[in-house]
Structures are given as structure tokens and as C-alpha cells.
Structure 1
Amino acid sequence: ACVLPPPFQALELVSKPKPYYEVGEEITYKCKAGYDQLLGFLTIATCEPNHTWVPISDDACIRRKCTYLGGPKNGRVEYPNSSHVWGAQVHFICSDGFYLIGKPIVHCVLKGEYPEWDGKIPQCEKILCSPPPKIKDGKYTFSDIEVFEYMEAVTYSCDKIPGGEELSLVGQSELYCAGNGVWSSSPPECKVVRCPFPEVENGKQLSGFGKKFSYKATVVFECIQGFYMNGSNTVVCSSASTWDPPLPTCLKGYPNPTEGLFDDEFAKWIIVLIVLISLVGVAIIFLWLYRYFQRRKKGKADIRAQYNTYQKRSTTPAEQR
């Protein structure tokens, strides 16, 4: 006998299943709801003498599709799975300068025998902004415009107060329409910012000189010889009229107690070593030159002696005759 074949995702039995089947018995399958049958594929299985069923598979059925959805005006549609069968989804995206009204993602779901989309195609509306906020003691450009389109920008500036302190613009000076009714950031603020004179004991200023220090003024310091810096050498005047980070201090000595001593002693020993190496080098050169000339002198003397001996030998027989 054959036992019932395993269940399928797309197929189901037409008749009620039995515990076992005799050899030669047949079972008939059909496609489940939401599937269509393909021609050429078996949906009938027979119990073979070896107690197996003629092979069948889910390939006989394919999922039904939802209607194809196009992109909205001033936007586009994307199919992540490159399909619109039930179980799939579509994404709607608006072009730059437009925002989405509706569901950005719609799913193809099965409702009864046939699939349907669970939402409609959204709309892409133009991004517009109302005028940006006004600020005290300041203004912005294009203040006569009532409606701003996407990425249109305004620039803030502070008013000049006759005979008064100079106002500093704290915050972003330029704002642009970033979304529907949404500006890129909060408006800036016009306020008097004055940081105290940046004086560091046992230190000196390298840059950022001035009599008054307003917002974002930057000063760079260094310590005089024999002192080391504790803190940052660069400070900036913040909106709170304080230096950020706080002014550094110049402490006497070196960050490492042995650093100064090491530097001085090391330099002295380096100089001594260089002098000794130079003296030894000069001595070696003189010694080499001395030996060279001694050998040369000795060589000339030997040649002269040999020559004299040769002369004596060559003249002796003639003298005897």
C-alpha cells in the first residue's frame, strides 16, 4: 500500500484523504485558491507497485497576479521582487520637490479566489512652505514672498543698532524649504556676544588679535619657554559669551618632570659624541696617510737599493778583465 503523499503549498486533494492506498489507486489534486493550473503538468498521482507515487509538484500551479500598478504623476513605482503576484508589494516614490499623499507601500493580498491590492495609488503633491519665522532685531531675504517652493532659501541678518553694541547672528544664517511646510532648521537669533579678553599668564597669543571678541572669534595661544600648556591651544567665543573650550593655563616646567632634563642632557651628550667621533675620524685619516707615505718611502728605498746592487753586479766582470 501507499501512504498519502506529503502536502503541497499550491496543491490540495480533490477527495477526502485515506490512511493508505492500494497499488493502482489514483489521487487527484487541484490548485488552491489564488493559483492557476499550467498545462502539461500532472495533477493525478498513481500508487506504484514499489509503493511510491508518480512525482507531482507545486510547479503545476502558479500564483495569480494583481493588476499592474503604474507610478503616480511626478513620481515612480518600484517592484522590489520584480513581480506583482499575491504576496508581493510595490513602493511609491515621489520626485524631488514633491511629497507623498497616501500609502507609500501597497501589498497584493488574496481575497477569496483572486488577489487584490490593499491600497490605491498615492498622489505626489508639490512641496511648499509658508514664510519662515521672523526674528527680533533681524530680517531675512525675500520677505515679500508668501509661498516658497522646495529648496528655495532665505538668508538671515541682524540689524545695526546706532550707537549700540554689534549684534551677532547665532545659528544657521541660511534656511531652505526642506519639506512640505518644513524649513531646514530653526531660525537664528540676534544677540550681543562679547567674550572677555583672552589673557593667559605665562603665555602669548599667536593669532586672533583684537580689542573686542565677538561670536565665533578664534584665538590661538602658546606658552613661553620653560612652561607647558594645560588645555587646548585654540579657543572660540561661544554664543554664551564664554570661551569654548575654557582658556588654557601655562604651567612651569614640562608635562613630564624629567622631560626638560632629558632634553638638555641628551643634547649635551649628542654634541660630545659628535666631537669625539670627529676627532677619532681625523686621527684615523692622519694615521692612514702617515702609514701610506711611510710605505711609499720605504718602497722607493728598496727599489733604489735593488738598482744599486744590479749596477754593481753588471760592472764587476768588466773590471776583472
Structure 2
Amino acid sequence: MEPVHKLKPFYSVGEQVLYKCKRGYSIVLLLSMTTTCDKNLTWTPVRDIVCGRDLCNTLQNPAFGWVYYPTGSWAWGNKAHFACQEGYYLIGQEILHCVLNKDAEAVWTGTPPQCEKILCTPPPKIKNGTHTFTDIEVFNFREAVTYSCDQIPGPDQLSLVGQKILYCAGNGVWSSDPPECKVVKCPFPVLVNGEITSGLAKNFSYQAAITIECKEGFYRNGTDKFVCNGNSAWDPPISPCLKGPRPTHPRKPAVYEYPGYPEPKQGLFDQELDAWIIALIILIFIVSIAIICLCLYRILGPRKKGSKQSKSGTIAQEAKSSRILNKQSSQKFATLK
């Protein structure tokens, strides 16, 4: 917001200042836009959230596509993204920005794009070969053709080098370059101290695969499998068999072998010191068990002994009482006589 009138150096109590929205902003909340100088020589509060940025026109989804706003707003300073459904492509700008023009009006930077159907013209023709659906003049999105080579007289036939199947991947764009038909013959491997263990044949045409192993006492650097490529050459090139054992690659030292790292057998202490620590722990455990047993014996032992003594005393007292009673009975019986 900004003041409607030019501000004065000083204001008296009760005077007011009226605000308005700046250019490019409009009132969005019905709140007071006036502040008053009160008797405490302070201004009454006024909220800046009264004004919000002006909005551009709402954009419609294009046919077979949609528009979306990354920030969820189409006020100036934001942008709109356009996208098409699968099988359609965008004609026009993919992103439009909402900006302020010279008249402080919120406008889009361009015209909304349109979505058009993806179509392809027939794929290229190849020498000594053809493809399916040669009678179709327009291909839709992801429609495909298959290439093949013509049959020629003689022992050496044509090989299809490249992608066999092509499909319409974009407007006027096929998925890859067309293949070519040509005679592919890789030379018979000249082996010294080696032999073909699989894939042996009289002729090696396109994509023929072989495995070559060296004889005992010889080795080869690299792979033992080779494929005949479209240039009538082995891929990778066949390397010779070298005399001797296959070299081993140096082992990367373990971390503890670097300076400053302890050996894993040492742990935090020396090996002998570790054994003494373990023995000390076991000894402390045994002594602790012995002390606990001794304490229990001293606590429970007197109780059992006292119980036995009390029981013996009771029996003796009963026997003494019985003797006294018997004696008294004998005296009474003698007196009666």
C-alpha cells in the first residue's frame, strides 16, 4: 500500500492518513485502509494484507492437453505450464508468464499453445531391402514397421545391420535410423596356441558368436567371447595367446594395513594383555559368586541351628514334666495305701 496524499512532516491528534493499493495490486480484504494519530501519539494499525496482486485471465485447458500452475496462483509473477496427452505434441510456448504491462495490468506473455496429433511420414527406404506397410502414407504415434533384406543368388546372403523395427516416436520422427542390407563375412580366426570351443563354422556372418580358449600354459588378456559385427570384423579384436600363467591383479591392501591403523588381531590392546583382562574378569566373577554364597550361609545357618536347639529343648522339657507327674502319682498312691 501507499498513501493517497503526500505525507506531512507532523500530524495532530485525530488526523488521519488514507492509503490505497499500489499499481498492480487490488483490494482483496474489506479492512480499514485509514490510520489515525491517537492521543498517545501513535498511529492506529493498518494491515498491508488488504491488497493482493492482480490476476491474469484464467487459462483454459487446450484440446487433448491441460494447463497447470506450479504455485497454484495465476497472479502476476507466476507462470503456467502446458502439456499434451500421449500421442499429441505441443505447438506454441510450453510456459507462459503472468506479468504487468506498461499500464500495470496483469497479462500473459503469449498465446496459449495447442495440442496436435503426432504423425509420421513413411520411414526411409533401404537398398536391397524393404519394410512392412509400404502402402501407408501416414503413421500414427507408436505405429511400427519391420525391415527385411532381399534374397540374392549365391552362397553369401544379405544381413540386416541395425534396428529391425522402427516406430513413430515423435511428430515426423522415427525411433532410430533405418538399417542397411549388406553381406557381412568375418575372417576365420587364425589361432596360435588356442582353439575355438564353441560357435565353430565354415563361415561367420553377422552377429555370429564364438568362444576361443588358450591351450594349457598360455593365457589371453581380456574376454574369450567374440562377435562378428556389421563391419565384417570381430568385436572385440581377437588377441593372441601369450605363454605363461595368467597374471593376477595386485590386491588392494586392507584398511588395517595402512599406517596408523591397528591390526585386527591386536584390538584395542596387545594380544597378551587381552588374555590377562579376560582371566581377571573370570576370576572376579568366581570370587563374587563365592562371597554371595558365604553371605547366604551366614544368614540362613543360625536360623536352622536355632530351630534344632529349640526343638531339642522342648522334647527335654516334656520328658522332665512327664517324670515329675509320674513321681507325684506314685506318692499319692503310697499315701492311699
Decide whether the 8 Å contact of 1:176 with 1:183 is kept in 2: yes
2-structure distance, mates of 1:211, 1:232: 23
1:187 aligns with 2:187: no
Match of 2:202 among 206, 211, 218: 211
1:114–1:190 distance in 2 versus 1, CA, 3 Å: same
Decide whether the 8 Å contact of 1:64 with 1:85 is kept in 2: yes
TM-score calculated relative to the size of structure 2: 0.67
In the alignment, what sits opposite 2:97? 107
1:243 aligns with 2:237: no
Decide whether the 8 Å contact of 1:36 with 1:61 is kept in 2: yes
Match of 1:64 among 54, 66, 82: 54
- AA aligned opposite 1:91: H
- AA aligned opposite 1:201: V
Match of 2:217 among 226, 230, 233: 226
- AA aligned opposite 1:217: A
1:39–1:156 distance in 2 versus 1, CA, 3 Å: closer
- C-alpha displacement at 1:164, in angstroms? 5.1
- AA aligned opposite 2:22: K
2-structure distance, mates of 1:206, 1:51: 103
2-structure distance, mates of 1:185, 1:73: 29
- AA aligned opposite 1:118: T
- C-alpha displacement at 1:175, in angstroms? 0.8
1:117 aligns with 2:108: yes
- AA aligned opposite 1:248: S
Q: Secondary structure at the match of 2:160?
A: strand
Structure number with larger C-alpha Rg? 2
In the alignment, what sits opposite 1:37? 27
- C-alpha displacement at 1:190, in angstroms? 0.8
Q: Secondary structure at the match of 1:206?
A: strand
2-structure distance, mates of 1:99, 1:144: 25
Q: Secondary structure at the match of 1:96?
A: coil
In the alignment, what sits opposite 1:175? 166
1:90 aligns with 2:68: no
Q: Deviations over 1:273-301 (max 9, x none)?
A: xxxxxxxxxxxxxxxxxxxxxxxxxxxxx
Mean Cα deviation higher: 109-118 or 154-163: 109-118
1:163 aligns with 2:163: no
1:21 aligns with 2:10: yes
1:37–1:205 distance in 2 versus 1, CA, 3 Å: same
- C-alpha displacement at 1:98, in angstroms? 1.1
Q: Deviations over 1:92-115 (max 9, x none)?
A: 111111111222212222232432
Decide whether the 8 Å contact of 1:232 with 1:247 is kept in 2: no
2-structure distance, mates of 1:106, 1:33: 22
In the alignment, what sits opposite 2:282? none
Decide whether the 8 Å contact of 1:100 with 1:124 is kept in 2: yes
TM-score calculated relative to the size of structure 1: 0.71
Decide whether the 8 Å contact of 1:222 with 1:233 is kept in 2: yes
Decide whether the 8 Å contact of 1:23 with 1:49 is kept in 2: no
Q: Deviations over 1:48-79 (max 9, x none)?
A: 67765444343111122222212111111111
Q: Secondary structure at the match of 1:59?
A: helix
In the alignment, what sits opposite 1:151? 142
Decide whether the 8 Å contact of 1:75 with 1:92 is kept in 2: yes
Decide whether the 8 Å contact of 1:65 with 1:115 is kept in 2: yes
1:253–1:39 distance in 2 versus 1, CA, 3 Å: closer
1:56–1:201 distance in 2 versus 1, CA, 3 Å: farther
For this pair of structures, how many residues does the alignment match?
247
- C-alpha displacement at 1:220, in angstroms? 1.7
1-structure distance, mates of 2:41, 2:227: 88
Decide whether the 8 Å contact of 2:29 with 2:49 is kept in 1: no
Q: Secondary structure at the match of 1:236?
A: strand
Decide whether the 8 Å contact of 1:136 with 1:190 is kept in 2: yes
5+ unaligned residues in a row in structure 1: which ranges?
1-10, 260-321
1:97–1:39 distance in 2 versus 1, CA, 3 Å: closer
1:26–1:136 distance in 2 versus 1, CA, 3 Å: same
2-structure distance, mates of 1:23, 1:217: 100
1-structure distance, mates of 2:40, 2:169: 72
Match of 1:128 among 119, 139, 142: 119
1:219–1:57 distance in 2 versus 1, CA, 3 Å: farther
